[in-house]
Amino acid sequence: MGMRPIGTADELERRRRRAVELVKRGESPAKVAYFLGCGRSSVYTWLKADREDARKVAARPHPGPTPRLSDEQIEELEGLLLRGARAHGWPNDLWSAHRVAEVIRRRFGVIYHVEHARKLIRRRLNRSSQRPQKRARQRNEAKIAR
């Protein structure tokens, strides 16, 4: 998946239909792609979609920005995380970004990409998603003294 080109859903759909029309008239997909400034693979994707069902060429309206957690929700999340991962059903108290994203989904119904959860942990909650710092159990005091 590349970046979505700029334009309204209607504009993108017109472009896709134009591409399909040009290929049907005998232009090569490579030429059409160059002419419309898109990837050749996109042209093939649109042709396949058109063959299967012409409605599939329609561009879906963009859903808009991803919902974010409010400051109050971030505060509540912090409280939930402070109880430890075990309290939320995991076998240990390691807070991975994946687990944090899962808690956000369960509690607030907001889907966060794991990398976004990682940024949230670092920036907003000022902690890194690593194991709680524990001193090594079997420290060799003699070695340390040397």
Query: What are the tens digits of pLDDT across the range 81-114?
Result: 889 899 999 999 888 899 999 999 899 888 888 8
Domain assignment of residue 25, yes or no: yes
Select from 28, 26, 5, 18 the least CA-distant residue to 50.
18
20 occurs within a structural domain = yes
Note whether 15 and 38 are same-domain residues: yes
Q: Which is nearest to 98 in space by CA: 75, 80, 116, 84?
A: 116
Q: 3 in a domain, yes or no? A: no
- Short-list 63, 68, 65, CA closest to 116: 68
* Domain identity same for 47 and 107: no
Q: How many domains does the chain have?
A: 2
- Structure confidence by residue, pLDDT tens digits, 30-48: 999 988 888 899 999 999 9
Other beta carbons less than 10 A from residue 112's beta carbon: 22
Q: In this structure, is residue 104 part of a structural domain?
A: yes
For residue 133, what pLDDT is reported? 47
Query: Which amino acid does the sequence have at 7?
Result: G
Does 76 lie in the same domain as 41? no
Q: How far apart are CA 16 and CA 92, in angstroms?
A: 50
CA distances in angstroms from 113 to 13, 90, 99, 103, listed in the order given: 28, 19, 11, 12
The distance of Cα 119 from the centroid of its chain, to the nearest Å, equals 13
Residue-range definition of the domain harbouring residue 53? 9-57
Residue 30 CA: distances (Å) to CA of 58, 108, 136? 21, 46, 61
| Same domain assignment for residues 78 and 41 | no
Q: What is the pLDDT of residues 50-92, one digit of tens each?
A: 888 767 667 676 666 656 788 888 889 988 988 989 999 999 9
CA 133 – CA 1 distance, rounded (Å): 39
Give the residue from 41, 57, 73 where a domain finishes: 57
Are 81 and 135 in a shared domain?
Answer: yes
Of 17, 33, 57, the residue that ends a domain is: 57
Residues 6+ apart with CB under 8 A from 41: none
Distance of CA 39 to the CA centre of its chain: 23
Q: In this prediction, what percent of the chain has a pLDDT beyond 70?
A: 73
